[in-house]
Structure 1
Amino acid sequence: MFLNTEPMKSIKLILVALFAGVLFSSCTQFDDEFGNQISLDELVSGYDLWYVDYHRTTGTGEIPFVSRAFTLSFLNGRMYANNNITDIGVTGNGLGIIVGNYNTRNGYLETNHSIDGTVDFDVIQISPNEIKIRDDFNNVTYYLVGYQRNNFDYDKLFYENIEYFLQEYVAWEKVATIGGAHNAFDSENYLQFTPENLTTFYSSRDPFGTTIESIQWNYVGSYRVFDIDGYNNLKILTLNYDGGDTEEFELSVINDRKIELYHINSGTAYEFMGRGFVQYLKTDNPKPAVRNNNRKRTKIQRDIKIRRDLK
């Protein structure tokens, strides 16, 4: 007897289609903090800020705009980033600057950065406010933690990244010397902190009022910033000169453009003002990330000498 199998085939095709649809939708559904299912767009836009937990990054590749960001935000199709520590919490009402746009139409976080171009990320949810974004093409995965602006600790982020703050000005000019005993550092009026070799500094004896483009850098060395137990907003800064000298200071931030260096050995307090703010994401002359050790220095004349104490 002949059996008509067409209806059976149709049923099978419908079931396969339904199964595929359920499977696809299950891969693009996430949970909010109350356990409700939400879409990818609702997930990434549900938090004002995504803190880039840079030290957890895995893989051999890099996406520059993610690596240089302290925070990312995905709101109404626009992508924001806090790339600078200076004025963090103020710039863009805490979101930073607009760096591109994004969409989630195809189940991926599809980003279009103003400089780096397009990158598509797989988004894997770890907890209601924690995700990892993976780019298999560049072999890199970043971990992001979500916060609302009203519960994000901008001050903590600022002080945990003081070394990057010091690098955000082309030079620091001494504007005040208060008390203390005469010492060799009295004659050094300009400092520069760079990410080359992780942390390199330059020092100059040029007179006050020298333009940053014409500073002659007399000394070079490495610097380190250390925490002080019990003090969240006070650090120790050590300058290790290539000539063998070491100077140690208590570093405190007066505001986003002025710091105080208290010279521990002499008891002298120096105030330095930042000159030449480095704004990242310049479309006419893009600079690599502050965390990228290959950032090119500005074209400033250097005449490096071995540091000698004053007679």
Structure 2
Amino acid sequence: MRTFYKILGSLFIAVTIASCSTEVIVGDGPDNRLTLHEVLSNQELWYVDLNSTQGSPDIPFMTRAFTISFDFGTLYANNNLVGVGRAGAGLGLDVGSYQILNNQVSILHDIDGLHDFKVVVLTFNRIKMIDLHRGTVYFLDGYNRNNFNYDQLFYDNIQYFLQEYRAWEKVYTSNVGALNDFDQENYLQFHPGFNGDVFYSSTDHNGLNYSSLFWDYTGKYEVEDVTPGSINKHLTLDYDFIGNDFFDLYVINENTIELHHVASGITYKFKGRGYIQLKNTTSKSRIIDVSRVLKK
């Protein structure tokens, strides 16, 4: 897959954390220390490392974002995997505004409203943002666009890519392979769930609008690497009461996937219908190995 492509301060601040590591001192004085504004804007992308979050990650715009960017008062976010690396020249969507005062940043999100954070600069490319109202601590890692691996971000999070369409319609079935029950299923739908991600399946005939589909089956789904870090994936559809189907999953392009049914040998192609732009929808949790985001 191709690579997708206002502010005052007057006091120096020295911040400390519970660990033994030394933090970076930032300020706004004449001794050439970087200001917090400079720290935040010097990195084009801040990857939201949800795995390191302390407390309940309950701010929607933080939990749905893969990256956020601070750009001269405008806050950008990459919430979607469809178009990642291209939207906003890699920064994503304009989702709000921010202001900095000393060691605090106030974010006014277009949907989620005003949130205030204390920012602790751990290094010049790692910060923590402490929600001043809830106490939740978010950790973010800084990158520039030329050393951020958008492809790896995409392939490490394909389970969320599947959720970015309201339905996936079957558009191709190979002539090779054995007949099986999945032949009758023409639509798939994927959603986040509280106890695992869920899917729905429909046997309605092709050509229908996704809003009129009847979902015949449901269950949980899981996407796993064929080998660690691989772009090739295994998809398991765990149907309620009727067992599992196993597929090799390949991404053809931003709205086409290929499913190879392991048991029968049949290959199917599905196209995404009804793209969902994740600016104001349900938040998600994510798992990603940050060390693999940097380009080799």
TM-score after normalising by structure 2? 0.84
What SS class does the counterpart of residue 45 from structure 1 fall into? helix
What is the aligned partner in structure 2 of residue 119 from structure 1?
Answer: 115
- Offset of residue 231 of structure 1: 6.1
Q: Aligned AA for 2:178?
A: A
Q: CA deviation at 1:267?
A: 1.1
Q: Mapping of 1:1-311 within 5 angstroms?
A: 24-27=11-14, 29-30=25-26, 37-60=33-56, 62-178=58-174, 179-197=176-194, 198-229=196-227, 232-281=230-279, 286-291=280-285
CA-based RMSD: 1.9
Question: SS at 1:158's partner residue?
Answer: helix
- CA separation of 1:149/1:260 partners in 2, compared to 1, >3 Å: closer, same or farther? same
Give yes or no for contact 2:55–2:136 (8 Å, CA) kept in 1. yes
CA distance in 2, matches of 1:103, 1:199: 36
Q: What is the percent sequence identity of the aligned residues?
A: 46
- Asked whether the equivalents of residues 61 and 139 of structure 1 are also in contact (C-alpha less than 8 Å), the reply is no
5+ residue gaps, structure 1? 1-20, 293-311
In structure 2, what is the Cα distance between the partners aligned to 1:141 and 1:105? 19
Equivalent position amino acid for 1:271 in 2: K
Amino acid of the residue matched to residue 87 of structure 1?
Answer: G
Q: Distance in 1 between matches of 2:241 and 2:50?
A: 34
Tell me, yes or no, if the aligned pair for 1:167 and 1:290 is still in contact at 8 Å. no
Distance in 1, matches of 2:13 and 2:192, equals: 44
Q: Unmatched 5+ residue regions in structure 2?
A: 1-8, 16-24, 287-296
More helix per residue: 1
The CA distance in 2 between the partners of 1:233 and 1:216, in whole Å, is: 32
Structure 1 moving runs of 4+ over 3 Å = 26-29
Matched residues in 2 for 1:26 and 1:116: separation? 29
In terms of Rg, which structure is larger?
1
1:225 and 1:236 in contact (8 A); partners too: yes
State the partner residue of 2:3: none
How many equivalent residue pairs?
263
> By how many angstroms is 1:215 displaced?
0.4
- More deviation in 195-204 or 183-192? 195-204
Distance 1:222 1:177 in 2: 23
What letter matches 2:124 in structure 1?
A: P
